[in-house]
Amino acid sequence: MTTDISLIVRQMCPKDRKDLRALIKTCWLETYEKELGATVTSQLLSLLMEHDLAGLVPSKDERVLFAKQQNLLCGSVISAARHATTYLWGFYVLPDFQRRGIGAKLLLGAIKEHDPKNMVELTVLNSSHSAKQFYKYLGFHEVSNEYFEILDGIKLPAIKMNALAADIIEQRRFPS
């Protein structure tokens, strides 16, 4: 895993919405088109044109972290704490930027935004084999199998995973 000094991880601001939309579009095409086909993927992508980017953009107590490298948005993660759990979603890294430590830095940044005693929880599609391996490497465990509804009536098999925030941080599997 190689890292680049020019990587910046920061909070999203309103002017970033267009860049976030482009990042998510690229990642959704990569993730869903093979599995769902062009028609369903187009329907999904049309939701990105909504102000809340298909419901991904957070409300007041949720946070979006961005990873930018050489002024290009290459990753994102959205987080929120509810009671003693930190939930993660909208976790994307552009394919050409994967395996460079960017996902790990985003994850660490999101965890540090919330109580380190929290359980961290996310849902990953069964078909996202590399994402599942990434989360397992960082200490996540499979909790349950479920179906994730990506559009009304269209559900994909997924796995709920979790780990204690403190355990993830203690493993020190993050690039410096």
Domain of residue 162, CATH code: 3.40.630.30
Residue 176 falls within a domain, yes or no?
no
- Between 52 and 128, the more confident residue is 128
- Report how far apart the first and last C-alpha atoms of the chain are (Å, whole number): 11
Q: Does residue 60 lie in a domain region?
A: yes
Per the structure, the complete domain to which residue 136 belongs is given by 7-171
79-100: pLDDT as tens digits = 999 999 999 998 999 988 998 8
Q: Is 130 contained in some domain?
A: yes
Q: Residue 2 falls within a domain, yes or no?
A: no
Copy the structure tokens of residue 170: 């203690």
Q: Which amino acid is at 49?
A: M
pTM: 0.86
Q: Rounded to an integer, what distance in angstroms lies between the CA atom of residue 57 and that of residue 99?
A: 25
Residue 72 is predicted with a pLDDT of: 85
Q: What angle do CA 25, 28, 38 make, to 5 degrees?
A: 100
Average pLDDT, the chain: 86
The total domain count for the chain is 1
Residue 1 lies in a domain: no
